[in-house]
Amino acid sequence: MNFLAHLHLASLANSSLLGNILADFVRGNPETHWQPDVVSGIYLHRRIDVLTDNLPEVRTARALFRPDTRRVAPITLDVMWDHFISRHWQQLSAQQSLADFVRQARAEIVPALPGTPPSFIQLNNAMWSEHWLERYRDMDFIARALNGMASRRPRLAALSDSWQDLDNHYSELEHLFWDFYPQMMARAGKQQL
C-alpha cells in the first residue's frame, strides 16, 4: 500500500494518520521516539504491509510482471493500488469527496511535521503542494512517479520499465484490486487490521 491507501485505511480504523505515513521513515522500535497514538499508527502501517504483501490477489498481481521488473513489482503495485483508490474514490467513500479527505488529512499531518525526519518533511511538502493523492487517478502521473523513484534510486531503475506491466495488465490489476481492497476496508472499520 502507498500513501493514499494507508491514509484511507487509517482513517477507517480511527488510527493516527501521521503514524501511518511516517512508518516507512521509522526503523526499529518506534516507542522511544513517538507518542503512543503515532506508535499505534506506525504498527498499523506495518501490519497492513505484511497482510497486503501476503494476499493471494497481490501475489497474483506480482506474477503479471515481466522477469526484468518483477523485483520492483511490490513498489509498483503499491502506487497502482493508490491509482485505483483515487480513481474509484466515490465508490469507496461516497460520504466524503477525495478533495475533502485530502484537506482533512493534510490539516492533521502538516502541523505535526516539526520533529519528524527531514526526508519525511520534504516528501510531505511535495505530496501536499503537488496534489499527489488526487493526481494518482491519472496514469500519466503514475508513470512520472515511477520514473521519479527510478531516477532517485539507481538500484530501482526497473521501476521506470514497470509502468509497461501496469499498462499491459490494467484490467486484471483493477479486478484484483476490487477482490481485496473492500475487504481491507471492512477489516479496518472493524479494527481487525
- pLDDT tens, position by position, 65-103: 999 999 999 999 999 999 999 999 999 998 999 999 999
Residues 6+ apart with CB under 8 A from 126: 132
Judged on CB neighbours under 10 Å (0-12, 13-18, 19+), 19 is buried
CB 146 within 8 A of CB 76: yes
* Domains in the chain, number: 1
Give pLDDT, residue 152.
Answer: 84
- Neighbouring CB atoms inside 10 A of 62's CB total 16
Give pLDDT, residue 100.
Answer: 97
Residue segments in the chain with a per-residue pLDDT below the cut of 50: none
Can you give the residue range of the structural domain that contains 146?
A: 3-189
Q: What amino acid is encoded at 158 in this protein?
A: A
Among the listed residues 67, 71, 73, 101, the one whose alpha carbon sits nearest the alpha carbon of residue 86: 101
Distances (CA, A) of 3 to 71, 76, 85, 93: 21, 13, 11, 16
Distances (CA, A) of 89 to 99, 100, 144, 156: 10, 11, 21, 29
Give pLDDT, residue 179.
Answer: 97
182: number of CA atoms within 13 Å, CB side?
8
Q: How far apart are CA 166 and CA 142, in angstroms?
A: 10
Give pLDDT, residue 119.
Answer: 93
Q: How far apart are CA 164 and CA 182, in angstroms?
A: 26
Give pLDDT, residue 170.
Answer: 97
69: number of CA atoms within 13 Å, CB side?
22
Cell matching residue 74: 511490490
Report the C-alpha dihedral over residues 75, 76, 79, 81, rounded to 10 degrees. -100
